[in-house]
Homo-oligomer: A and B are copies of this chain.
């Protein structure tokens, strides 16, 4: 990945290295185990060097969170794209992927949704990354509405309700509040499908005559 072979006194791409080291530390030990000094150590640099690239610890955390959001949205987006043309399947597939992210990366999920980051004062790039997740939901909802499969209600209302459901389940699992129902990867997948199916019934168009009609879709 490096464009040049030299790496003398100047590290080269210290910013990226610090983000990477920080992500790894968070995955392994959680936010409480993340110290600026240890990140610097892991990158092989003095403990004050990070201040050339980040304003403070919160700024590094924001950069790590941004990467986390991108991974989350990417995964769910890819899952949805595998079912283009079938909004119901898109919804379930993206939901299951979202939930699995929380199970596979619980500490990252806590970083993104545990109140660690103040979104009001967050860097623009982080805000944009977090909005992308919501936009994905909106796109799927709109596809379903155009196809006549989903209710013709305000997109925002349907999106907030379903996103809340999926997000809440992911959070409850990754916090360990549902260990009895969702211990294994397989159980999580089953529970995710079940909940997203049930959420789906809440937003389905009960007027079935229009279903099946093919409308123009917004691509993901």
Q: Give the CA-CA distance A35 to B183 in the complex, in Å.
A: 33
A66 contacts partner chain B, Cβ-Cβ < 8 Å: no
Give the Cβ gap from A97 to chain B, nearest Cβ, in Å.
16
Q: Output the residue of A106, A107, A169, A198 with the most chain B CB within 10 A.
A: A198
Tell me the complex Cα distance, A107–B115, Å: 7
Does A51 touch B at the CB level, under 8 Å?
Answer: no
Mostly, the A contact residues are helix
- Determine which of B110, B157, B174, B199 lies in contact with A194 in the assembled complex, contact meaning CB atoms within 8 Å: B157
Q: Kindly identify, within residues 158 to 209 of chain A, every residue whose CB is under 8 Å from any CB belonging to chain B.
A: 158, 160-161, 163-169, 171-172, 174-179, 181, 191, 194-195, 198-203
Tell me if A75 counts as interface (CB < 8 A to partner B): no
Give me the interface of A with B, judged by CB distance under 8 Å.
Answer: 30, 106-107, 109-110, 113-120, 130, 134, 156-158, 160-161, 163-169, 171-172, 174-179, 181, 191, 194-195, 198-203
Q: Which residue of B lies closest to A180 (CB)?
A: B156
A157 close to B119 (CB less than 8 A) = no
Known contacts A161-B165, A198-B161, A199-B165; A130/B171 CB under 8 A? no
Q: A127 → chain B, closest Cβ, in Å?
A: 10
Indicate whether A113 sits within 8 Å of B160 (C-beta atoms), given known contacts A165-B165, A177-B134, A199-B165: no
Q: List 20 A-B contacts (CB under 8 A).
A: A30-B115, A110-B114, A113-B172, A114-B116, A118-B176, A119-B177, A134-B177, A157-B198, A160-B169, A160-B181, A160-B195, A161-B169, A161-B194, A161-B199, A163-B172, A164-B165, A165-B165, A167-B171, A167-B172, A199-B202
**CA gap between A119 and B172 in the complex, in Å:** 11
